[in-house]
Amino acid sequence: MAKLTLLTGLALLLNAHVGTAYVLTCYFTNWAQYRPGLGKYTPENIDPNLCNHLIYAFAGMNNNEITTYEWNDETLYKSFNGLKNQNRNLKTLLAIGGWNFGTEKFTTMVSTPQNRQTFINSVVRFLRQYGSRPRLMAPAAVAGGLSTIQAGYEIAELGKYLDYIHVMTYDFHGPWDGSTGENSPLFSSGTLSVEYAMNYWKNNGAPAQKLLVGFPTYGKTFTLQNPSNTGIEAPTSGPGPAGPYTKEAGLLAYYEICTFLNSGATQAWDEPQDVPYAYKGSEWIGYDNVKSFGLKVDWLKKNNFGGAMVWTIDLDDFTGTFCHEGKYPLISTLKKGLGL
């Protein structure tokens, strides 16, 4: 399981939404503090009224016990949980794991009743220590790719016990493919789409109202082999160049994408998949924008899913200075669309 997410926050949540009471869950990453200049992001930057669940990523695990990860996590936890003083309905959560965490520690932890109890006791003690008083909650972030889902999860069992299931409906395509592709297409002819992944989870025993659709506030970039071949599945030679703030080849934050778009890139709409892409020279990017987020929200509501999960709050245009669409244009689209 890529990320096991546990509550550090507030009150008991109803397991079903009533009317339009959808959940909007946003991840905050504790490494965003290291981005330069306008990219730097700490809990002080968070709008406490934007998302109704906030998840702190990530904590670690050693010897079956939860641990901090960054040198200043304890200070950041305090600021993060303090956001509830500005919004009494806000829920704050803590995620354990992450992309590079692997499965070994989780596998060991769940292998015996004693190890599980050690973990549970450490988590409860840890969360109470950092200001969590009411009933704790256990959602999980799960894969969106079919082979990973089939190999990794007992869906119906998870559906019984988890409060929410955050489906990571992104990273469907990337530089590893050797050709251009969309990061998070709503539709596709195969299995790599938001629609396919969400319906697979629902049809195999996870209650729709517990399932949250994953929304990425970043795009995947590619280097084209031939700058004149710019369509979907055009041959690529590797990832696109790293952005000035996120500094990771093959990925750009939404605010970095806006800079790319404003530099004269050609923008295109991928009609079958309901997401945009853009290109300039040999650089190609598949991403999401306000329009595609709006279409996905409409689809989410039509299919009675529980809400949206955003990776991440710090990759949206949180200052509003790059995209000229106001602060947090993507997440604000979700908030408005979900009627929150």
Type of residue found at 312 = T
pLDDT attached to residue 226:
98
Q: Model-level pTM?
A: 0.93
Q: Which residues contact 54 (CB under 8 A, 6 or more apart)?
A: 25, 26, 27, 28, 46, 80, 83, 90, 91, 92, 93, 313
pLDDT surpasses 80 at 241: yes
Domain span at residue 142 reads: 3-216+289-337
Residue 33 phi/psi, 5° resolution? -65, -20
Does residue 245 sit within a domain? no
Confidence of residue 3 (pLDDT cuts 50, 70, 90): very low
Q: How confident is residue 234, by pLDDT bands cut at 50, 70 and 90? A: very high
The share of the chain scoring above pLDDT 90, in percent, equals 88
Q: Quick one: pLDDT at residue 298?
A: 98
Query: Is residue 246 in a domain?
Result: no
Q: How far apart are CA 319 and CA 36, in angstroms?
A: 14
Q: Is residue 312 part of a domain?
A: yes
Q: Is residue 323 part of a domain?
A: yes
Report the domain count for the chain.
1
φ/ψ region of 187 (left if φ > 0, alpha if ψ in -120 to 50, else beta) reads beta
Q: What pLDDT is stored for residue 11 in this prediction?
A: 31
Residue 233 included in any domain: no
Q: How many angstroms separate the CA atoms of 81 and 90, rounded? A: 9
3-state secondary structure labels for all residues of 143-167:
ECCHHHHHHHCCHHHHHHHCCCEEE
Torsion of CA 149, 150, 156, 158, to 10 degrees: -40
Pick the more confident residue, 289 or 15. 289
d(CA 93, CA 27): 9
- Which CATH number characterizes residue 100's domain? 3.20.20.80
Q: Which residue has the higher pLDDT, 86 or 133?
A: 86
Is residue 204 included in any domain, yes or no? yes
Q: Does residue 276 belong to any structural domain of this protein?
A: no
- 136 inside domain: yes
pLDDT the model gives residue 7: 38
Dump pLDDT digits (tens) for 190-218.
Answer: 999 999 999 999 999 999 999 999 999 99
Residue-level pLDDT at 17: 39
Burial of 215 per CB tally in 10 Å (0-12, 13-18, 19+): buried
- Mean local confidence (pLDDT), 275-289: 98
Across the range 164-187, mean pLDDT stands at 98
Residues of the chain with pLDDT > 70, as a percent, come to 94
Better-scored residue on pLDDT, 65 or 135: 65
Cα–Cα distance measured from residue 226 to residue 221, given in angstroms and rounded to the nearest whole number: 15
